[in-house]
Amino acid sequence: MSPESFKKGSVAGGIPWKKLAILSLVGNLLFMISVGIPVGSGGAAEVDRAIDEYFRVWSSQNMEAYRDCFHPAAVVNFLDAKGVPRPSGLGPFVEGQRLAHANSRTQMREIPLRKETEADAGVAHSVVRWKLFNDGGEETGTDYFTYIKTKNGWKIISLVFRKDAP
């Protein structure tokens, strides 16, 4: 490219550089769509907002909104003190959470303390340290989430959680 054509705002065959940049961007987006790379998938920040919603609706005892945080095919595993998984389908798990709230003498509340999230191509993994406030005082533990991107946003497809040893 000659210095004269650069000064005139044109590149490659006289096409204005702004038009060439827009065409290049559109071409890249079309390529990403054609090979199945999600465009604007939301990434880790969007998943972190979904995690905040998960804790907010659980703490407000809104079990319908809590259930909506999950994909219908989600599986939940609680790791007991010996590290043995105790699996549950979504329905029994949410019902157990509803009963825990109903049987608590105080309003239980759970907050995320730290989130580490990675998202790629419609799948995300998050490790979340949490603190639970309940009848017994305070407990801490870790949630291991796997999210998938759906037409209705990021949904939990797998949750493994454990409480810290007392």
Q: What is the pLDDT of residues 116-128, one digit of tens each?
A: 999 998 999 999 9
pTM: 0.74
Fold of 43-163: Nuclear Transport Factor 2; Chain: A, (3.10.450)
The pLDDT assigned to 39 comes to: 46
The pLDDT assigned to 8 comes to: 52
pLDDT at 12 > cutoff 70: no
The pLDDT assigned to 35 comes to: 45
Under a CB-based contact definition with an 8 Å cutoff, are residues 129 and 139 in contact?
no
Confidence of residue 161 (pLDDT cuts 50, 70, 90): very high
Structural domain boundaries in the chain: 3-34, 43-163
